[in-house]
Structure 1
Amino acid sequence: MQTLPETSSDTLNNASSEINSDAQGPKIAVIIPCYNEEVTIARVIKDFREALPTAQIFVYDNNSKDKTSQVAADAGAIVKQEIRQGKGFAIRRAFSDIDADVYLMVDGDATYDAQSARKLIDKVTKEHFDFVNGARIHDSSKAYRPGHTFGNYMLTRAVSLVFGRQTEDMLSGYKALSRRFVKSFPATSKGFEIETELMVHALELKVPIAEIETPYKERPEDSFSKLSTFKDGYKITRMIFHLVRIEKPLSFFLLGACALFALSLILVTPIFIEFLRTGEVRRFPTAFLAGMLGVSGIFSVSTGFILDLVQRARHEAKMLHYLSIKPYQGEDS
């Protein structure tokens, strides 16, 4: 395993002070989580440095086994190590470490268009959006795997159905986020499901959301994707399920109650008909099971109402925390 000591705390503090020293414009931090991207990371840093000359570029190396850290440091990025494996951990660490007005998230695989960065950032600084998504458009069949295209479509639609629709490409790794959004985001994701969690947080708080189409390219030769169509799709689906249970408990438990009541009704109906005809209950175990399912349905409804009250309190607390963070005051404010 190729290792490189973290950029020292003095270096990071100096970098933060450099970000804070630019009084003529927003403090921009480009965050690049990486795992085994030595082939592409220098190119990504170069492209974004040219597109955003005043921004600070942070690379969070997530246990790379190649020379990603060394190449990134040689290219002039501020390199940090995140030993907990997963993109979610790297993003969580970056949001905690860095203080800026605008956070630009991008992957280190050289597939995103650096020239679109200014458009995303302007949406935050000039039009005061908190969440700006870079929706990927491409003209190459190699840019996406067929399974990823279909999976992205289905998962985006699933989130839209439950939480509302304001994006066409939920799983894009290219986003511009305001400081007040980042510092009020309680990240829990470990891996690639972080994009889903970010989107749901934005939809639940009803923050200003925008989306801009950006060109998307295939990976360069000798560069390999870390995505797994089925494994990551399962993790994202599980995250959606978890977020529905947490953010929409009443709907979640009412749906469960309906299933329990329906099953109870199916079991008890023939027993009830037989009782009306003969005056006897011959299948007592089935009748007992039907009764228990009905009681479980009642408990499910009660649980949903209680958790809904708890969620409303949590939502209000998150909103108050979000509103307590001062938004970026640009020239147009």
Structure 2
Amino acid sequence: MPKVAVLIPCYNEALTIPKVVHDFRTVWPFAEIHVCDNASTDDTGNLAREAGARVWYEPRKGKGHAVRRLLRSVDADWYLLVDGDATYEARLAPDALDLAGQLGLDLVNISRRETQATAYRAGHRWGNQLLTGTVQRLFGNPIKDMLSGYKLFSRAFVDSFAVQSNGFDIETEIVVHALTLNLPVGEMAGPYYPRPEGSVSKLQTWPDGFRILFRVLNLVRQEKPLPLFLGAGGLLILLSLGLGLPLFWHFWETGTVPRLPTAVLATGIMLVGLLSSAVGLILDGITRFQRENRLLTLRRTRP
């Protein structure tokens, strides 16, 4: 029997955490339930402990901080990450583990199927589609609901994964990590319920949406530096040529430079373009080296 851990990052979920812990203890009696109390101001931690979970405390607010604390503290063969707001169906957890075992997956994403129109807050559905679509185009993402808070991943995945995110951009980082290492990923759908009355979402539509978008752009810089810097360098070189070639032909014909400031500007832009291209080549080599090290970690971890 594999050792399974359920990881539940929580902030002020006293209303829902007893039910979430109970549901997972019911469907997975052999699993360890771990709750990270992310500096809650209510009784979340005590209620989770009374329900039978082991509680960890993370004073720095932010889901990424809480997930980092859980992954650093918990040892298991399989890790199931789920929000503590009672919006996900616990009975899907064994199916996700079966799917991962049958297909040899390192990541199973459980996408959300709305049970009511009020399950998503206004703007969240559109934002999820926009951000997921962006990652699909940039990284070849096969996952349709990247921002789902319900994910299963293997020990090998966790051992190769260094969490950088501090907030709700953690889901994006998890998916991009799997894609950049070409890990086998899968997805299954499950019901997504509205929050119980009195429970308030911590996700702020615009600030967290921009934070996730910036995380995507930062991951592009980290994982795909060559096309980013080479593309920027190429555009700058073309701009420099557009400014400088007319001056060059004028100099060739007359021996004079009519617009010296423009010539200086074109030279500066050309140098920056060449420097950007060189930086892209250097960073690409570093990225490949780091990726190979992570793949070696995966091979050492796999049974």
**Aligned match of 2:94:** 118
**Aligned match of 1:156:** 132
Q: How does 1:1-333 map to 2 (within 5 A)?
A: 25-268=1-244, 271-272=247-248, 280-327=256-303
Contact 1:120 1:176 in 2 (8 A): yes
Long gaps (5+) in structure 1: 1-24, 328-333
Provide Cα deviations, 1:41-70, integer angstroms capped at 9, x if missing partner. 111111111111111111100000111111
- Hey, what's the Cα distance between the residues in 2 that align with 1:151 and 1:269? 44
Quote the offset at 1:92 in angstroms.
Answer: 1.1
- Hey, what's the Cα distance between the residues in 1 that align with 2:117 and 2:256? 67
TM-score, normalization: structure 1? 0.87
Helix, strand or coil at the partner of 2:190: strand
Q: Single out whichever of 299-308 and 262-271 deviates more from structure 2.
A: 262-271
- Hey, what's the Cα distance between the residues in 2 that align with 1:193 and 1:215? 22
Contact 1:143 1:219 in 2 (8 A): yes
- Hey, what's the Cα distance between the residues in 1 that align with 2:83 and 2:246? 59
- Hey, what's the Cα distance between the residues in 1 that align with 2:46 and 2:176? 35
4+ runs deviating over 6 angstroms: none
- Hey, what's the Cα distance between the residues in 2 that align with 1:154 and 1:49? 35
- Hey, what's the Cα distance between the residues in 1 that align with 2:273 and 2:91? 54
Contact 1:133 1:211 in 2 (8 A): yes
**Aligned match of 1:11:** none
- Hey, what's the Cα distance between the residues in 1 that align with 2:70 and 2:151? 14
Quote the offset at 1:206 in angstroms.
Answer: 1.0
Long gaps (5+) in structure 2: none
Helix, strand or coil at the partner of 1:104: strand
1:157 alignment partner AA: G
- Hey, what's the Cα distance between the residues in 2 that align with 1:193 and 1:275? 54
Helix, strand or coil at the partner of 1:198: helix
Contact 1:173 1:195 in 2 (8 A): yes
Q: Single out whichever of 215-224 and 302-311 deviates more from structure 2.
A: 302-311
Quote the offset at 1:278 in angstroms.
Answer: 6.1
State the identity as a percent. Answer: 48
Helix, strand or coil at the partner of 1:223: coil
1:99 alignment partner AA: D
- Hey, what's the Cα distance between the residues in 2 that align with 1:229 and 1:112? 20
Provide Cα deviations, 1:185-211, integer angstroms capped at 9, x if missing partner. 111111111111111110111111110
Helix, strand or coil at the partner of 2:123: helix
Contact 1:152 1:169 in 2 (8 A): yes
Quote the offset at 1:272 in angstroms.
Answer: 4.9
2:210 alignment partner AA: Y
Provide Cα deviations, 1:285-331, integer angstroms capped at 9, x if missing partner. 1221111101111111111111111111111111001110034xxxx
Helix, strand or coil at the partner of 1:146: coil
2:9 alignment partner AA: P
TM-score, normalization: structure 2? 0.95
Provide Cα deviations, 1:98-122, integer angstroms capped at 9, x if missing partner. 1111100000011011111111111
Quote the offset at 1:141 in angstroms.
Answer: 1.7
